Chain A
Amino acid sequence: MSFLFGRARARTNTTELPKQAREHILKLDGPGGAAKADELAKTLSQIKQMLQGTHGLGTESDASPEQVLQLVTSILDEDLLYLLAANLYRLPFESRKDTQVIFSYVFRFRPPTASPGSDPMALVYVVEKRPQVLVELCKGYNYKESATPAGTVLREVLKNKDAAAVILYDDGDEEGSSQGGVAEIDEERSQTGNGVFWMFFEWIDKSSFEVAADAFTTFRELLTKHKELVPKYLTWNFDLFFTKYNTILVQSNSYVTKRQSIKLLGEVLLDRSNYNVMTEYVDRGEHLKICMNLLRDERKMVQYEGFHVFKVFVANPHKSVPVQKILLMNREKLLQFLSHFLEDRTDDEQFIDEREFLIKQIKTMPSTPMPPQR
């Protein structure tokens, strides 16, 4: 008897819980908001447990896959994902963690009937119908409280190409923005720079360490994960992207931002899929200047990371005239400088080899700039 009762209760819960959660969230601002927060915390915890089943250490009876399907459907129907994402920062401590778990499970859930390789249903729904959920998750970086849970969810979701595209191509009401769903994206259009992706620069540069470091990790995922997405994106938004990148990140006053972004720059440029972006990047004299100044930074790790970008300029067999000019103008200084550059890195053979290679390249450059021949 109790068995039957439990089943029945579970069934109502699958539709009731998301509805309750929605109502609690909407009343957070009203009178008795604190009490609502408590109730919300309980509801979220119940939803989490149903989704989690015995994956965790909970010993409660498992919900059946059909029930979980019902629950997920109901969560989508109530637009709970959006509400949770937008209000994440003001949920209680435990609820923020529960929300993170709920997102994880919902975004991975496949109905029992779905084919194993298919995209999870909630994720498909969000990228097609409700991209704002992802945008709101990114905006979790506006607050210290929501940065970690939102970031954790984002990095899981961003493994999906469409989800990454939604964030890259979010551009407000513009034509071709991802706002209407992933299908509306126009990849061959330059971004205005007002979309959510461009806010990452500020989050990384301006936030506290915890937030900035998490935002940077997500930013890196966005730029390195999807080889078929990012090169095109960078090509279409070359100036906007690298201007922001070089001024806000590479020359940030924050040691961590500076060092990590130089490293990422090197990774992006040296990625085979970004070949065209790389050649365009190393043609610009002003990029070389920034880079050469990094070599003279007073912090060794900044010098070291800078070196890995600098080497791309020098190793390029088709150096542009401005780049050749700068290198020639500083040839003697560079040779002198490089021969003593990070000398105590005696056990880094690759570095030593590369340094020698650069010295040789600079030495053997013709003394007058010549237009590159490709």
Chain B
Amino acid sequence: MADEGVASHYQVLEELGRGSFGVVYKAIEKATGETVAIKHIDLESSEDDIQEIQQEISVLSTCASSFVTKYKASFLRGHKLWIVMEYLGGGSCLDLLKPGVFNEVHIAIICRELLFGLEYLHTEGKIHRDIKAANVLLSESGKVKLADFGVAAQLTYMKSQRNTFVGTPFWMAPEVIQQAGYDFKADIWSLGITAIELALGEPPHANTHPMKVLFQIPKNPPPRLEGKFSKEFKDFVSQCLVKDADHRPTARELLKHRFVRSAGKVEALQELIQRKQMADAKADRVKLPVFYQETLHNISPKDDSDEWVFDTVKSTVLKRGTVRSRKPSPTFSLEDGMRKLDVKDGPLQPTTPGTVRRSTVRHQPSAAHHQQQGSVRRVSNGSPRASIAPKRPLQPDMSFGNSGSTMRLFRRVPSDSSTTGQLGAGATPADPKSNENRPPPAFHTTPVEATSKESSLGRRLYNRVLEPSLDELHAQTAGSTKREALAKLCDAFAILDSVDPEGAYHLLRNVVSAVSQDGKLSAALLQSSGGNSAPSKTPLDGTPQGTVVVKSRAAAALVSPTKLIMSHDNPHLLSHRRRGSAAPDVSLAPARSPEKERDREKMAMEAKYPGRPAVPGMEHCKALSDLLYARWTDGLRHRWGGAVAGA
């Protein structure tokens, strides 16, 4: 593919946000001077077929509507795919909601424009499948456009229905959740939810765990818009939210609804944009643009002695295979792996955009990196963030309601090969875009090198255990005071880790041994003390915060919502497996026989799932997790055959 030079046609500026599986930058097309948005997708961090990314491009590129973000081009640069789209300076509706909810006048305009967009898509045989405020972008002049086609589908002649389980839980139509086959009407439901979101600031059930929502939506009567809203608005929402898709109106029919028929001009939406700008100015947010920095580069020259020996002196083939110079690949230790990765993916330096990555070795993923990844996922793709909020660990927008961003949460699992060393296995699965151009570290102190065994363990402990578990806990915590407290704790650990990883190790070791000496505590925490890692190994992927994609291999309609969990490649099962198999890895206990590992793994799972309702916000999930657990152990039994069955 002969694209390599095309990137030079663009001057890439600051980061706008992070979307389904890439970072979005503002850029200028040099030839025309036009401002564009460019999404960078790191293909190395994507395990699955590049074909799926192609799908997004093909859906976008066959759209020509002023209600849909315009696709301009796409090309490869090394292992990154750049997708060039039109730039929309107003930001996403989710961003614009931050200063406060919208009034009905604005909502009516947005709904009408969205209906135009949906009418267009549906006539074209396309389903967006992820309509929500985060995916609705505004131009500076107030034009409303649908964005993020990361999970959109094109219906062909044969399949006028889909069975793929896709979307973001809160916005999902019942028929999508039930995987009973659905069509473009699913978008209408999501539109109704989005209308509520614009009016109330969050979708219905926003404080419920996303997994539970998946049960509630098909089971409960449709959500209604309550409160002091006009009759028309309420009726519009209730028409969108008809549970039976056959009785739900089409986009064209809804355009005749009084609520949107009397809506005003899009220019009125500029008020929302101004309001956001004012709010940002008032809040005195530090505008710290994150500048783009090339992260593809050559590493050290190849060490020839490390080459394979073939009978010929050196085959021509061999030369051709390695155009770029590189460092010898085998990584002999975790540290080496990190070293290599760090050099390769040198962090962006916000303060000195021009500087090149450090040549010194940093094998500590700066705490701030990591947390940033956790916290930015609400930013919709392509939606310019009006300000880059100061990098704090666990930014408080991670609440269930609004945090769902378009991610192919389960399908687009990054290859740990490129990220785990740095990020810790626990965090990666939920964080598909994590190793794409990292946001800058907030801590500018160069972290201490982990030289001793203890300190490297401490570092590992932090990266793999503490940080992910704090992150997770934070994501599941609703109260803002609680969240803040957690964020502080996380900050503190981050600092400790950067200056004294050995201290972190000793701290945790002492905690573990103290716990084991206290009868009651050790009973309560027994299993988790088996490697004080068990809870921490729960990566975020257990809970679908973002857009979910599940391909149902068996197209058979799964009618009951519980059955959905049993779908063969259910992400939750997969994630549990992943988690399970990784568990021994993080345990600090040195000697382990395979049986012990299994036992511990089982114990850890038992501790975590059926028996452990403790995580705030997770209590209601007990029934569900029991089910999940049963499925998971079945899976284990199947895989380990006699060994487990006999046990």
Residues in chain A within 8 A of chain B (CB atoms): 55-57, 93-94, 97, 101, 104-105, 108, 148, 152, 156, 204-210, 212-214, 217, 246-247, 251-257, 259-260, 285-286, 289-290, 292-301, 303-304, 325-326, 329-330, 333, 336-337, 340-347, 349
In the complex, what's the smallest C-beta–C-beta distance from B334 to chain A, in angstroms? 8
Q: Which residue of B is nearest A148, CB measured?
A: B58
Within 8 A of A (CB), among B236-274: 250, 252
Structural contact, A344 and B310, CB atoms closer than 8 A: no
A206-B2, A296-B329 are contacts. A255–B415 as well, Cβ < 8 Å? no
Return the contact of B315 from the options A55, A256, A286, A300 (Cβ within 8 A): A286
The interface residues of chain B lying within 8 Å CB-to-CB of A97 are 62, 124
> CA of A152 to CA of B421 in the docked complex: distance in angstroms?
40
> CA of A94 to CA of B581 in the docked complex: distance in angstroms?
51
> CA of A101 to CA of B156 in the docked complex: distance in angstroms?
9
Q: Which residue of B is nearest A350, CB measured?
A: B639
Structural contact, B125 and A56, CB atoms closer than 8 A: yes
In the complex, what's the smallest C-beta–C-beta distance from B49 to chain A, in angstroms? 8
Q: Which residue of B is nearest A108, CB measured?
A: B157
Structural contact, B157 and A104, CB atoms closer than 8 A: yes
Q: Which residue of A is nearest B298, CB measured?
A: A298
> CA of A251 to CA of B324 in the docked complex: distance in angstroms?
12
In the complex, what's the smallest C-beta–C-beta distance from B627 to chain A, in angstroms? 23
Structural contact, A209 and B156, CB atoms closer than 8 A: no
In the complex, what's the smallest C-beta–C-beta distance from A326 to chain B, in angstroms? 6
> CA of A166 to CA of B559 in the docked complex: distance in angstroms?
43
Structural contact, A213 and B50, CB atoms closer than 8 A: yes
The interface residues of chain A lying within 8 Å CB-to-CB of B157 are 55, 101, 104-105, 108
Q: Which residue of A is nearest B53, CB measured?
A: A213
In the complex, what's the smallest C-beta–C-beta distance from A166 to chain B, in angstroms? 22
> CA of A209 to CA of B315 in the docked complex: distance in angstroms?
30
> CA of A247 to CA of B58 in the docked complex: distance in angstroms?
29
Structural contact, A294 and B321, CB atoms closer than 8 A: yes
Structural contact, B420 and A253, CB atoms closer than 8 A: no
> CA of A21 to CA of B606 in the docked complex: distance in angstroms?
68
Structural contact, B81 and A286, CB atoms closer than 8 A: no
B590 within 8 A of A: no
Return the contact of A208 from the options B1, B58, B326 (Cβ within 8 A): B1
Structural contact, B321 and A344, CB atoms closer than 8 A: no
Structural contact, A336 and B317, CB atoms closer than 8 A: no
The interface residues of chain A lying within 8 Å CB-to-CB of B310 are 285, 289, 326, 329
> CA of A136 to CA of B4 in the docked complex: distance in angstroms?
28
B313 within 8 A of A: no
> CA of A251 to CA of B498 in the docked complex: distance in angstroms?
42
- Top-3 shortest CB links A-B: A298-B326, A300-B417, A254-B1
Of residues A259, A292, A347, which shows the largest number of chain B Cβ atoms within 10 Å of its Cβ?
A: A347
> CA of A214 to CA of B64 in the docked complex: distance in angstroms?
20
A289-B310, A293-B318, A300-B44 are contacts. A255–B76 as well, Cβ < 8 Å? yes
A254-B1, A333-B309, A344-B337 are contacts. A290–B417 as well, Cβ < 8 Å? no
Structural contact, A57 and B417, CB atoms closer than 8 A: no
Structural contact, A256 and B329, CB atoms closer than 8 A: no
In the complex, what's the smallest C-beta–C-beta distance from B582 to chain A, in angstroms? 5
Structural contact, B317 and A293, CB atoms closer than 8 A: yes
Structural contact, B318 and A289, CB atoms closer than 8 A: yes
B359 within 8 A of A: no
Structural contact, B417 and A344, CB atoms closer than 8 A: yes
Q: Which residue of B is nearest A330, CB measured?
A: B308
> CA of A337 to CA of B123 in the docked complex: distance in angstroms?
55
The interface residues of chain B lying within 8 Å CB-to-CB of A346 are 416, 420, 425, 581-582, 585
The interface residues of chain B lying within 8 Å CB-to-CB of A205 are 1-2
Structural contact, B417 and A304, CB atoms closer than 8 A: yes
> CA of A57 to CA of B127 in the docked complex: distance in angstroms?
13
Q: Which residue of A is nearest B154, CB measured?
A: A152
In the complex, what's the smallest C-beta–C-beta distance from A37 to chain B, in angstroms? 16
Report 6 cross-chain contacts, Cβ distance below 8 Å, ordered by A residue. Answer: A105-B157, A208-B3, A209-B1, A213-B50, A252-B1, A296-B329
Of residues B74, B79, B160, which shows the largest number of chain A Cβ atoms within 10 Å of its Cβ?
A: B79
Structural contact, B421 and A344, CB atoms closer than 8 A: yes
Within 8 A of A (CB), among B380-432: 415-418, 420-421, 425
Known: A213-B54, A337-B330. 7 other contacts (CB 8 A): A105-B157, A255-B78, A256-B1, A336-B330, A347-B416, A347-B581, A349-B581
Structural contact, A207 and B2, CB atoms closer than 8 A: yes
Structural contact, A293 and B3, CB atoms closer than 8 A: no
Structural contact, B51 and A251, CB atoms closer than 8 A: no
In the complex, what's the smallest C-beta–C-beta distance from A231 to chain B, in angstroms? 24
In the complex, what's the smallest C-beta–C-beta distance from A345 to chain B, in angstroms? 6
The interface residues of chain A lying within 8 Å CB-to-CB of B161 are none
Structural contact, B123 and A56, CB atoms closer than 8 A: yes
The interface residues of chain B lying within 8 Å CB-to-CB of A294 are 321
> CA of A156 to CA of B47 in the docked complex: distance in angstroms?
26
Within 8 A of A (CB), among B4-52: 4, 6, 43-44, 47, 49-51
Structural contact, A333 and B308, CB atoms closer than 8 A: yes
Within 8 A of A (CB), among B75-115: 75-76, 78-79, 81
> CA of A204 to CA of B329 in the docked complex: distance in angstroms?
28
In the complex, what's the smallest C-beta–C-beta distance from B464 to chain A, in angstroms? 11
The interface residues of chain A lying within 8 Å CB-to-CB of B3 are 208-209, 254
